[in-house]
Amino acid sequence: MAIFKPAQHPALLKKTSAGEVRGVLVYGSDPGGVSELSRRLVRHVVGNDDDPMSVVVLDEETCREDPARLVDEAQAMSMFGGRRAIRVRGAGEHFAKAMETVLERPAGDAVIIAEAGQLKTSSGLRKLFEKSPELAAAPVYEDSARDIQQIIRETLEKEGLRIAPDAMAALSELLGGDRAASRGELEKLALYCMGRKQVTLEDVRAICGDVSGHAMGDMLDTFFSGDAVTGARLFASLLAEGTSPAAILAAASAHVARLKPLALLVAAGDPPAQVVKAARPPIFFRRQPAWIRQLSIWTPEALETADAGLLEATASTRSMPTLEAEIAERCLLSLSVRAARASR
């Protein structure tokens, strides 16, 4: 049918609810965002994303071991009438082959919602869903700063809460690219502030200390400050929590992009501490010492070299996806070594 980019997801939800698609592929580097959109699609089909009578959950391994299972589930009739949803997690090429067989059969009452990670444009799975008139593809990108602020406002406004500007700046720094983790933190914050009208900076400091973006920021600060040992430990922790190497490299590139204009000010003679405190948007208070240190280490020229290295590493992860974790870690370790040498 088409590719539905994030701004078009509401239209996709309507088409899915109206029964205009037989299947949707949701994919991207943000596992939380992929899962969230999948659940919303399932709810638009059956009204509830955890009803075992109307929602069947499969995975790539099932499609590999029993390719006919997907076809059978797609053709099965609902015991109590109404529509059904088939949610496929970790979808890959085995699922794609089974899906081709599904499309050869008449449409049943089930909608297939498949979830996948980051996919190349050459992926057979992507091509199948992008080109078939009965299917749709929905990429999920990591939230930008503007997206994060919109999520903050929407979530808090539902609870009758406003947020102070300084609290918004701090919370935007803390929340990471994983939308599910971000919403979880916002729900805790809203509960903490129940009965009041406004969320303050003190509320953010009290509640939002363990979100994924916080760990990502800590990891980047340690690598770019020359602490390879701590950086490697935090890198491994993020991978264990499900953060993709591609997302880490993207965050590192964004970190360099944020450092560049500040480094130019330092090169022109402004003290690093002054530059950091005057930065807009504000740098989260707890990270300011690390940024001051980084601006005393990284020159504009060195940041250009770092940026080129990150782009090269990102390209390598796409050509060698089985080694993406090793490639990303090696790139970050090399940047940490450069920072350590420059700080001596």
The answer to whether 86 touches 110, Cβ cutoff 8 Å, is: yes
54 and 128 part of one domain: yes
Beta-carbon contacts of residue 206 (< 8 Å; ≥ 6 apart):
192
The whole-number average pLDDT for the span 134-159 is 82
320: CATH: 1.20.272.10
Residue 247: its pLDDT value, please?
Answer: 86
Q: Is pLDDT at 177 greater than 60 in this prediction?
A: no
Looking at per-residue confidence, does 169 or 278 come out higher? Answer: 278
Residue 211: its pLDDT value, please?
Answer: 47
263 and 227 part of one domain: yes
Q: Is pLDDT at 296 greater than 50 in this prediction?
A: yes
The whole-number average pLDDT for the span 40-55 is 85
195 and 110 part of one domain: no
Residue 210: its pLDDT value, please?
Answer: 47
225 and 317 part of one domain: yes
Sheet strands (E) in 47-171: 55-59, 84-89, 110-116, 135-140, 162-163
7 and 113 part of one domain: yes
Q: Is pLDDT at 321 greater than 50 in this prediction?
A: yes
Last residue of a domain, one of 140, 163, 193: 140
Last residue of a domain, one of 207, 224, 249: 207
218 and 287 part of one domain: yes
217 and 331 part of one domain: yes
Beta-carbon contacts of residue 8 (< 8 Å; ≥ 6 apart):
none
179 and 132 part of one domain: no
119 and 199 part of one domain: no
Joined tokens for residue 44: 């638009």
58: CATH: 3.40.50.300
Burial class (CB in 10 A: 0-12, 13-18, 19+), 321: middle
Based on the structure, what is the number of domains in the chain?
3
Residue 184: its pLDDT value, please?
Answer: 77
201 and 275 part of one domain: no
Mean pLDDT for the chain overall: 87
Residue 41: its pLDDT value, please?
Answer: 94
Could you tell me the pTM of the whole model?
Answer: 0.50
Confidence of residue 331 (pLDDT cuts 50, 70, 90): very high
The whole-number average pLDDT for the span 62-79 is 89
Q: Is pLDDT at 32 greater than 80 in this prediction?
A: no
Sheet strands (E) in the chain: 2-3, 23-28, 55-59, 84-89, 110-116, 135-140, 162-163, 198-199
Looking at per-residue confidence, does 176 or 225 come out higher? Answer: 225
242 and 281 part of one domain: yes
Q: Is pLDDT at 159 greater than 50 in this prediction?
A: yes
Last residue of a domain, one of 140, 159, 176: 140
Confidence of residue 203 (pLDDT cuts 50, 70, 90): confident
Sheet strands (E) in 2-49: 2-3, 23-28
Residue 178: its pLDDT value, please?
Answer: 60
Joined tokens for residue 71: 């076809």
Q: Quick one: which H or E segment has residue 168? A: helix 165-174
123 and 96 part of one domain: yes
Looking at per-residue confidence, does 173 or 310 come out higher? Answer: 310
| % of the chain beyond a pLDDT of 70 | 93
Confidence of residue 142 (pLDDT cuts 50, 70, 90): low
How far apart (Å, rounded) are the C-alpha atoms in residues 58 and 88?
5
> Structural domain of residue 252, as residue ranges?
212-343
Classify residue 132 as left (phi > 0), alpha (psi -120 to 50) or beta.
Answer: beta
Q: Which tens digits make up the pLDDT trace of 223-256? A: 999 999 999 999 998 888 778 898 899 889 989 9
